[in-house]
Chains A and B, each alone.
Chain A
């Protein structure tokens, strides 16, 4: 049973606009969340993370929002650039540094 879900398999956004990627989780024990970015034929690379003691974390163009009551997090990319086109995975950390990944959202930024 998938504990971390990304319900949108794909997203297309115009360059310069905001990209919003969503993620839902079911386990209320999760309290650390991460976003990874993956290009074809490469391994995932860490993008940004957030602890449950926060509701927002920002790093340049990337901001992650966490709504614990809704068990929902989102990644905002502003402004979106063609180089952001990739598959984005959200992950939740369980006990012992075990990660539970979502199914991924493929973002295409159109020039």
Chain B
């Protein structure tokens, strides 16, 4: 079955370390997204990609970067982790850029920055 996976599911790191969260989808979807979920804020868009070599900033992109070298993967990198980046991170994908397209979410990664 096609799916979207995230790894690791849980991660504890220290302030200042570089961390990479993996997202892999087997639907061959063009669009991929990274969100963070925080109490009182819902899900907020970090970065997104419409295809290979395409990346765009979302509303909370500071301190994060992504790269898209193939269709299946969109890794999220925290260049120098900060305690404010402690959160639950969700990856999502969708087929088209146009309207009415549902996004399908991965199971999430819980990141703790000490």
Contact status of A44 and B42, CB under 8 A, knowing A96-B50, A97-B31, A97-B101: no
- Chain B positions 78 through 114: 1 when the CB is less than 8 Å from some CB of chain A, otherwise 0: 0000000000001010101111111111111000000
**Total inter-chain residue pairs, C-beta < 8 Å:** 63
A93 / chain B contacts, CB cutoff of 8 Å: 99-100
Contact status of A103 and B42, CB under 8 A, knowing A46-B102, A51-B100, A97-B31: yes
A97 / chain B contacts, CB cutoff of 8 Å: 31, 94, 96-99, 101, 103
How many of chain A's residues have a CB under 8 angstroms from any CB in B? 27
Binding site for A on B (CB under 8 A): 4, 31, 33, 35, 40-45, 48, 50, 58, 90, 92, 94, 96-108
7 CB-based A-B contacts, threshold 8 Å: A41-B107, A43-B108, A93-B99, A96-B97, A97-B94, A97-B99, A102-B42
- With A43-B92, A49-B100 already in contact, 6 other A-B pairs whose C-beta atoms are closer than 8 Å: A42-B107, A46-B102, A96-B50, A100-B45, A101-B43, A102-B42
